[in-house]
């Protein structure tokens, strides 16, 4: 029994040691757990993020590695959070929201600035256009002024032409230097419509007498004067030599004097353009010498048809001659009994051409014998009997 008691005490001692060791182990374990929790809490306090992560790692034996891992995880989490924030809707983050608003404001401000600039630009363009309009208006006004000026110039020119015409008419009646006589020859064609206008009324008649002068010329002039009539005389050079006083009287009385050549012989006067113009020039020279009038009025013997062909006309034009035919033939050379008067009156009434009334007569006793009847008719019927002048476009056979 003594051996079994020793054994029991030995067992009790072993149990006490085992129990003590166990308690010590438990205490140590508790300490570690407690320490671990405390550490984690501290870490969690430092960074609010994910305390669960720490709990998960609590059981890890290596505190340092645990801590490092925790820190790494935390860093990862933090990183993820930031990334998430960036991808998340901006409204969630007030900071981000503010920035967005700022950006928008900035954007708006920029747009506003842009609009302002555009408005400024448009204003400038408007101003530019206004200036252009003003410029156009000024130009328009300028043009108006110029037009007005031109109008006045034209009017002045017309006055000048009128004055010139009157002067040349005067010159025809009196006398003038040949140099000044030339220009009016070119003007007649311009003045044609102006001069023709009165003829259309049918109240102007141009009496013409060929083949003179003659012994009866002075009586014809006397009669014309009585009826306040002016006429035109186309005279032959030899007859003018015989009656120079008549030529002078014609000019003095205000009639027009022209030439009819020299020979009145078809074979001579129309032998060539040169002979035609030569005869005319000889007669013109006589008038010039006798009256000082430089005339350009000519009438071809027997009329311009058929003898005065283009070469004849060209030659006459070179000398600025004005060739007159007629449109009322009295045939007074044939109707010696005075019947020509009624013929002329009838032709005058029936006249429907748009040209001046040009009556052909001759300086003959039988013409003079019945002339008064014709002059009376014209006067009583309101006709003005006028002499042709060099400003008129001549009536010619067509
Ligand atoms: Zn004749």
Q: What are the tens digits of pLDDT across the range 250-308?
A: 999 999 999 999 999 999 999 999 999 999 999 999 999 999 999 999 999 999 999 99
The pLDDT of residue 208: 98
The pLDDT of residue 97: 56
Q: Which residues pair with 361 in a beta bridge?
A: 209
The pLDDT of residue 109: 86
Question: Which residues are close to ligand 1, an ion, with C-beta < 5 A?
Answer: 210-211, 301
- d(CA 210, ligand 1 centre) in Å: 5
The pLDDT of residue 335: 97
- d(CA 302, ligand 1 centre) in Å: 6
Distance CA 321, CA 74 (A): 128
In this prediction the pTM is 0.53
The pLDDT of residue 178: 29
The pLDDT of residue 57: 45
The pLDDT of residue 68: 41
Query: What domains, with CATH codes, occur in the chain?
Result: 165-190+198-386 (3.20.20.370)
- d(CA 359, ligand 1 centre) in Å: 13
The pLDDT of residue 119: 80
Tokens of 71: 């820190």
The pLDDT of residue 160: 52
Distance CA 222, CA 12 (A): 199
The pLDDT of residue 85: 38
- d(CA 349, ligand 1 centre) in Å: 25
DSSP per-residue letters across 165-208: HHHHHHHHHS---HHHHHHHHHSHHHHHHHHHHHHHTT-EEEEE
Ranges of residues in the chain whose predicted pLDDT is under 50: 1-5, 46-94, 161, 165, 167-201
- d(CA 358, ligand 1 centre) in Å: 15
- d(CA 271, ligand 1 centre) in Å: 17
């Amino acid at each position: 029994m003594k051996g079994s008691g020793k054994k029991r005490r030995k067992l009790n001692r072993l149990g006490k040691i085992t129990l003590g060791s166990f308690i010590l182990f438990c205490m140590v374990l508790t300490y570690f757990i407690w320490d671990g929790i405390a550490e984690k809490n501290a870490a969690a306090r430092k960074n609010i993020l994910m305390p669960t992560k720490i709990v998960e790692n609590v059981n890890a034996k290596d505190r340092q590695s645990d801590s490092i891992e925790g820190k790494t995880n935390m860093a990862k989490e933090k990183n993820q959070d930031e990334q998430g924030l960036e991808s998340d809707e901006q409204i969630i983050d007030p900071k981000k929201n503010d920035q967005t608003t700022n950006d928008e404001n900035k954007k708006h401000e920029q747009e506003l600035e842009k609009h302002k600039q555009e408005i400024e630009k448009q204003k400038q363009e408007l101003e530019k256009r206004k200036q252009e309009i003003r410029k156009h208006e000024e130009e328009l006004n300028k043009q108006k002024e110029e037009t007005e000026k031109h109008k006045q110039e034209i009017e002045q020119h017309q006055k000048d032409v009128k004055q010139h015409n009157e002067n040349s008419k005067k010159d025809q009646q009196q006398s003038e230097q040949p140099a000044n006589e030339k220009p009016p020859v070119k003007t007649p064609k311009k003045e044609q419509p102006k001069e023709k206008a009165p003829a259309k009324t049918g109240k102007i008649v141009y009496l013409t007498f060929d083949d003179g002068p003659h012994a009866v010329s002075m009586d014809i002039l006397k009669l014309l004067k009585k009826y306040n009539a002016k006429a035109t005389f186309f005279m032959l050079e030899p007859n003018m030599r015989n009656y120079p006083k008549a030529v002078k009287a014609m000019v003095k009385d205000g009639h027009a004097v022209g030439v009819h050549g020299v020979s009145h012989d078809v074979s001579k006067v129309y032998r060539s353009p040169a002979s035609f113009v030569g005869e005319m020039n000889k007669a013109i020279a006589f008038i010039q010498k006798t009256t000082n009038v430089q005339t350009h009025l000519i009438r071809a013997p027997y009329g311009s048809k058929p003898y005065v062909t283009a070469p004849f006309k060209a030659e006459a034009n070179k000398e600025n001659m004005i060739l007159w035919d007629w449109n009322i033939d009295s045939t007074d050379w044939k109707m010696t009994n005075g019947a020509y008067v009624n013929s002329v009156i009838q032709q005058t009434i029936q006249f429907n051409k748009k040209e001046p009334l040009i009556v052909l007569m001759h300086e003959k006793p039988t013409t003079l014998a019945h002339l008064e009847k014709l002059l009376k008719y014209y006067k009583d019927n309101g006709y003005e009997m006028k002499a042709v002048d060099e400003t008129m476009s001549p009536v010619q056979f067509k």
